[in-house]
Amino acid sequence: MTTPTSPGPGGVRLADLAQVIRSKNAGPTQLTIDIFLNDAQAYAQASQSPAMSCAAVARRYGMDPAQVQRHLIPGIHAIKFVLPRQVVAGSPGDGDVYGAQQHVPMLEVRL
Amino acid sequence: MNAVARLRQWHRPADGPLRVLAASGQLGYGIPEPALRRGMARAPHFVGCDMGSIDPGPYYLGAGEMAAPAEMVYRDLDLVLCAALDAGVPLVIGSAGTAGARPHLEAVVAVLRRIADARSLRFRLVTVSSDIAAERVVGAIDAGQLVPIGAIDMPSAQQVHGCSHIVGQCGTDTLMQALALGADVVLAGRACDTAIFAALPVMLGYPMGLALHMAKIIECTSLCCQPGGRDAMLAELTMEAFTLESMNPDAHATPASVAAHALYEQADPLSVEEPEGVLLLDEAQYEALDAHRTRVRGARFVARDKPSVKVEGASLVGQRVVLLAGVADPGFLDRLPQALGLVEQRVRALVPGDWAVYPHIYGQGAVRPLAEGTLRAGEAGLVLEFIAPQVALARTAAGVFKQNLLHYGYPGRKSTAGNLAFAFTPSEVDAHAAYRFVLYHVMQDVSTIDLFALNAIDVDGQHVH
């Protein structure tokens, strides 16, 4: 499934190695981002990439690295990030009550 | 004899698997009937439905209204109630009417009574009330026993009292107490999704860890399958394992799809907090029985000394009016954020009072922050949210804002006849009231026995005919 990793300018796109990249609330105060990689090789490449560290993801979302948690689930080739929501879901000023469109910055990640 | 009493009398875990049918993960949005019928043909020992969630936001809890359309709630309840009563098995429904507060519970009881009257049904209903008194929450704050879940402020006593509704998520123990009263139907206010499906198995002697893990997966029906869906899901539970099977023959529960579901809407995929303790999934094993079914074992449960209960509370922010408009002029698109700020200042001078405006500029970062270079699109959609204590003030602010933005002049402006495109007029629309979550906290060391009130009702739809 995974195409040979020949990083072009800026590296391989995470979106090309993952079958699912999604975000959703885990309750109204947290956002969870789930990434399901295509296979074990893609998982190994993604989980070891500096672009997939808590610090790198925190930068993408404009947060402090200490606010981001990462869970690795090798058995199903999954990587999960948990971030605080900037606005409690549904409070005035929120733009995404379910948090279902906050995965987009991850589509741009290059490993 | 009621259905729970019958099941307790006749089913022993040694007799063979307990068949649990999850009929709906979101009752009120249209239960797919073919899969429900196939599930009922498998002779489940009980039927469970989840009816609520905190996901739709604070409005439903705050306003005491259901998110699902009333007619579809009637249709879905009619389906599952008739199916369970016909089969003589218990029906367990949790998180009544979306948010599970008193008005939601009462609304769902009223629908059940209407169905009973329409169909001449008799059944014993046990309800669980999940409302928590503000004083109780304030007492927990004072005792240092209220802990925020994630990034939410610790409320003041006044803010707690300002909540229009406060609910606690009742757990497996509470639903077991409700079932113990003897019931055909158990309807809980706000409840843990897991409790709906775990309480009866645990009561019958199945292990808590296994029952909770099964419940955690099937509460979303066939969402754990490949492809995911909303069709009824059957679990067959033994003392050692459970087997998952979608009642849609084209939705397959595979080890990968089931394990992946543990991540869904969950911060920690291997540890699930429950009122009575923690469900640990680090040793869970998923094994394909065939292309359609997966067997799961290995979940552990670690009880805590005293239960913890998640509490949710929402309070009114104000009345909301929204202004809808489009912008296409490139010069105006470039300066839209500044224009909104300057127009707001002008409107403040004209319309005094405690109103607030929240701009959502679709196409320019309303959904997520956009980088500078990517901001300018062909056009932008403008949703301006006005919130004020009185709807009249919100309308006034929205109307005056609209006209000032339409004719806002700026250097180099070429479109001197107007800056906005309206799809319709009036372009300012009364929206529902605005609420916010004040409470999304854990109340520690509580006695759940006196927290959740139980009530048994003999519903008799035969006397009316």
Answer whether A15's CB lies under 8 Å from A111's CB.
no
Q: Residue A1 has what pLDDT?
A: 39
A4 found inside a domain: no
Q: Mean pLDDT across chain B, nearest whole number?
A: 96
Q: Indicate whether A8 belongs to any domain.
A: no
Note whether ipTM > 0.90 here: yes
Smallest Cα distance from B380 to chain A, Å:
15
Residue contact A97–B57, C-beta within 8 A: yes
Percent of chain B's residues with pLDDT above 70: 98
Task: Tell me the nearest-neighbour CA distance from B227 into chain A, angstroms.
Answer: 13
The answer to whether the bond into A50 is cis (omega within 30° of 0) is: no
Tally C-beta pairs within 8 A across A and B: 106
- Taking alpha carbons only, the member of B278, B332, B327, B277 closest to residue B305 is B277
B269–A80 CB contact, under 8 Å:
yes
Residues 6 or more apart from B314 whose CB is under 8 A from it?
B58, B59, B61, B62, B163, B164, B165, B435, B436, B437, B438, B439
- Contact state of B58 with A90 under an 8 Å Cβ cutoff: yes
Contact: B267, A75; criterion CB under 8 Å: no
d(CA B310, CA B440): 7
Q: List the structure tokens of B104.
A: 């939601």
Kindly determine whether residue A27 and residue B267, on different chains, have CB atoms separated by under 8 Å. Answer: yes
Share of chain A above pLDDT 90, in %: 88
Q: What's the number of domains chain A is made of?
A: 1
Record: contact A95-B367, CB cut-off 8 A: yes
Q: Which residues contact A9 (CB under 8 A, 6 or more apart)?
A: none
Contacts of A20 in chain B (CB under 8 A): 260
- Per-residue pLDDT at A2: 40
Check residue B465 and give its pLDDT: 59
Chain A positions in Cβ-Cβ contact with residue B358 (cut-off 8 Å): 92-93
Who among A26, A62, A90 is closest to B265 (CB)? A26
Band the pLDDT of B213: cuts 50, 70, 90: very high
Tell me: the pLDDT tens digits for B96-143? Answer: 999 999 999 999 999 999 999 999 999 999 999 999 999 999 999 999
Is residue A5 in a domain? Answer: no
**Does residue A29 lie in a domain region?**
yes
SS (H, E, C) B409-427: CCCCCCCCCCCCECCCCCC
DSSP states along A42-74: HHHHHHH-GGGSHHHHHHHTT--GGG-EEEEEG
- Structure confidence at residue B375 (pLDDT): 63
Backbone angles phi, psi at B90, to 5 degrees: -65, 150
pLDDT 10s digits, A36-46? 999 999 999 99
pTM of this structure: 0.95
Q: What is the mean pLDDT of residues A40-61?
A: 97
What is the dihedral angle through the alpha carbons of B32, B36, B37, B40, rounded to the nearest 10 degrees? -170
Q: Where are the alpha helices (DSSP H) in chain A?
A: 14-17, 40-48, 54-60, 104-107
A13 located within any domain: no
Beta strand B122-129 with B453-460 is antiparallel
Is the residue at A15 inside a domain? no
Range of the domain at A94: 25-106
Residue A17 lies in a domain: no
Provide the shortest C-alpha distance from residue A46 to chain B (in Å): 17
B385 contacts in chain A (CB < 8 Å): 92
3-state secondary structure of B245: strand
A46 assigned to some structural domain: yes
CB-based contact A92 B358, cutoff 8 Å: yes
> SS3 for B49?
strand
Cβ of B368 and A80 within 8 Å?
no
pLDDT reading at A4 higher than 70:
no
Residues 29-68 of A with CB under 8 A from B: 29-30, 32, 34, 36, 62
Spatial separation of the C-alpha atoms in residues A61 and A102, rounded to whole Å: 9
Q: How far off is chain B from A7, nearest CA to CA, in Å? A: 24
Number of Cα atoms under 13 Å in the Cβ half of residue A52: 30
Q: What is the mean pLDDT of residues B188-202?
A: 98
Nearest residue of A to residue B311 by CA position? Answer: A27
CA distance B192 to chain A (A): 13
pLDDT confidence bin for B257, thresholds 50/70/90: very high
Closest chain A CA to residue B367? A95
Looking from the CA of B438 toward its CB, the CA atoms found within 13 Å total 25
pLDDT above 70 for B401: yes
Give dist(CA B184, CA B91) in Å, integer: 6
What residues contact residue B153 under an 8 Å CB cut-off, 6+ apart? none
Q: Which residues pair with B272 in a beta bridge?
A: B279
Nearest residue in chain B measured CA to CA from A39 = B256
